[in-house]
Structure 1
């Protein structure tokens, strides 16, 4: 091993905070979080058990010790809201497995796995005994549920304003000839084969917002929550329409629309949770590293991409946000080989030699945290741009370098890094994702 690599690994080993599985593992992390209202926790893959398990452990401590009152995840709003109803004892689902049944579309294992079941069950138990406004919620930030969200808007209006529902149905009829197929709409509207539905979805969102006060004054115990749910679905329809319309125009524009929507939803959620509970919202976000780590510190940021981590830092400030990344050197992962394919147990190849993952492996420490915000020799040494691995819902070992690596500047990207040298795959509740109408797969087309 070259002397420079030895000195770097020694510097990292000296600064590393080992993770032993003990109750105090994440005390240094909570101390560094301080009074931040937003803690964004990533994952280097969409199918690694340790990432889900440790993310849940951190989140539990943030809820118990720091008063965090919402969890927002890289998932569609309607599917996650079903879980929200369950954990806040407002739904009809009998248990956590049933509450997660909304996640049927590829890649269902992202949320229908045993680690998420365990966390959802814990959250339900934790909330037991609290008043409704004090219960911790579970929400989705993503925008793939175009047609599902339209149906949810219509269902809400049928309850509170049947005439408004009829008008909304006429507006949304613009999508009727696409047969609930969002990819089909993306192609037709994106290349100009048909007129877009942009004006219709904007008009519907504005109509809903115009009558917000009237709808929220309805005689209902959860009128504010019900309106917020409907409003977010209408906003999702507007943003999803724009996302699909730009999908074939290039990665940068569609990626930016998606992450802007997630940041916008996070902001709306913060306002809603804060107003409901009478105290500031404190939200944990679960997403892939690619969304959590500040894009300005990566090569994709240089071509104009932004992400949720960057937007959160810009909107809320460095002192009020804390970004946590994960990495692994090798092990196994649950992933597919093609879009819509079954979940597979795949071996993760050892990381490339010029990657951050390889540098962490050279320390010889199996599990550790690394503070990237405080000045240290390790932080200074890690400022050199290196490769970083990102595995999404697909893992393609034959094209490892091209498919799964990009250059980054780690200390600018995250505030804390957690490394688990050998990881294992999540255990899906089932291996085959079932289609839901014609909705596009979650994370399509980027994979993360």
Structure 2
């Protein structure tokens, strides 16, 4: 059945749930989520205040009312683990601002912003009120190759200096390229240097083999898990940086497979300690919206974390997408450039954003699993906007839009018609290190 823009907007008006800021805003959404153990909450940009605020608001309810045990985010593992120590009352940091101090790679504002700082403070307080049932905070991404290898060596120095020497020797393979993994990927992919793959794999296997022995040492099981995940990251990052020179789809798939492996490792580690795991995931819509319902999947052969999680836990996964029509966003003009407040253009005619705007409600959420005229229409292809850390409004259509089937990508959609830029904690939030990722969409 063909719907006009106005008739489809009317169909949506009949099934949306307005969001007014009231304490019961998400009651029906929590009922829709039900007993899901994995709630994946996306974002349509990396720099929108309302996305961070509402994601945290919903997550707090999932933790308090549904017993969720971990928050896993699109961030580097060692950086996020410093936050994990802080929210558990460990480490030396005295504030959320200090605990977020390892997030120095571009784009720093993605995690060093006011909304994340508020949530980290809240999580620390929650854990203090619930000793023995603390909620963790973890990173899923793989851009921290050199920091992760250093973390493995540092852990082993404390528990087995001889093993630390072996790790240092293995990881020295990367030293020829300084702190630039792109140089490593280029040199090895084009035959100028031998890959470090065998060394990275050997180090991970040694840590896995010795887990029972080392995990009961002076630093305990959590610290061994931290080290083992860093070793896994080094192995996967090594593969990723070589794949960057073979094609976009292959490197994207390596990255999202690593995220899925990390999520599975979190579950196995927690359940190995006798506590069933329920995890909230924060990442961009492009990672969490099922890629099979996007041209990322059907044209480019890319999969993503949302698809892999649905395939691994089909009855236990709920995916929530976020969208906006217009407003402002914190983003850069290009990679490694300072953060700016940029105006987001109104949604393109016929796009998901345009349709949500036509509804005429400032903020609302929509259950996409129902069978009605609105959700049926949203199973048809339409443009959807994706803004990463770079926003180029001058090439809006080409740079930031993808054909999707929204009702197949997500189980629910949260729409905020006019949004505002996230506030960075750093005035110079555009500084970067050398571990520059391959990105999608522009600057994702």
1:385 maps to 381
Gaps of 5+ in 2: none
Q: 1:345 aligns with which of 334, 341, 344?
A: 341
User: Which residue number corresponds to residue 401 of structure 2?
Assistant: 405
- Contact 1:105–1:433 (CA under 8 A) maintained in structure 2: no
Matched residues in 2 for 1:447 and 1:256: separation? Answer: 17
Task: Please show how residues 357-436 of structure 1 align to structure 2 within 5 Å.
Answer: 357-433=353-429
Q: Aligned equivalents of 1:211 and 1:54: distance in 2?
A: 42
Cα drift, residue 279 of structure 1 = 2.8
3-state secondary structure, aligned to 1:127:
helix
CA contact under 8 A between 2:389 and 2:442: conserved in structure 1? no
Q: Which residue of 1 aligns with 2:79?
A: 79
* 1:244 aligned residue (235, 241, 245): 241
Q: Deviations over 1:379-398 (max 9, x none)?
A: 01212200000000000011
CA distance in 2, matches of 1:3, 1:154: 60
The answer for the alignment partner of 1:139 in structure 2 is: 138
Please give the residue correspondences for 1:50-199 in structure 2 after superposition, counting only pairs within 5 Å: 50-132=50-132, 134-199=133-198
Instruction: Trace 1:185-264 onto structure 2 (pairs within 5 A).
Output: 185-218=184-217, 220=218, 223-264=220-261
Cα deviation for residue 183 of structure 1 reads: 1.7
Judged with a 3 Å threshold, the aligned counterparts in structure 2 of structure 1 residues 236 and 446 are, in CA distance, closer, same or farther, namely: farther
Distance (Å, rounded) in 2 between the aligned partners of 1:231 and 1:410: 37
Q: Is the 8 A contact 1:69 1:136 kept in 2?
A: yes
- Cα offset, 1:441, TM superposition: 5.2
C-alpha contact 1:344 1:431 (8 A) present in aligned 2:
no
Contact kept? 1:105, 1:442, Cα under 8 Å = no
Provide the rounded CA distance (Å) in 2 between the counterparts of 1:436 and 1:301.
30
For 1:444 and 1:247, how far apart are their aligned partners in 2? Answer: 13
Q: Note if contact 1:331-1:424 (Cα within 8 Å) is conserved in structure 2.
A: yes
Shift of 1:354: 1.9
Query: Residues 379 and 259 from structure 1, CA distance in 2 versus in 1: closer, same or farther, beyond 3 angstroms?
Result: same
Structure 2 partner of 1:21: 21
Structure-2 separation of matches of 1:129 and 1:353: 49
The secondary structure found in structure 1 opposite 2:245 is helix
> The residue matched to 2:425 in structure 1 has which SS?
coil
Counterpart residue number, 2:312: 315
What secondary structure sits across from 1:406 in the alignment? strand
Alpha-carbon distance in structure 2 between the residues aligned to 1:143 and 1:363: 39
Q: Is the 8 A contact 2:294 2:403 kept in 1?
A: yes
TM-superposed deviation, 1:72: 0.2
> SS in structure 1 opposite 2:244?
helix
CA contact under 8 A between 1:70 and 1:284: conserved in structure 2? Answer: yes
Structure 1: distance between partners of 2:30 and 2:355: 25
SS of structure 2 residue aligned to 1:333: strand
| 2:284 corresponds to | 288
1:443 positional shift:
5.1
**Cα shift at 1:193:** 2.3
Q: CA deviation at 1:438?
A: 3.2
Q: What stretches of structure 1 of length at least 5 have no aligned partner?
A: none
Q: CA deviation at 1:223?
A: 0.6
| Helix, strand or coil at the partner of 1:185 | helix
Q: What's the CA shift for 1:3?
A: 7.4
Cα root mean square deviation, aligned:
1.5
Task: Name 1:11's counterpart in structure 2.
Answer: 11
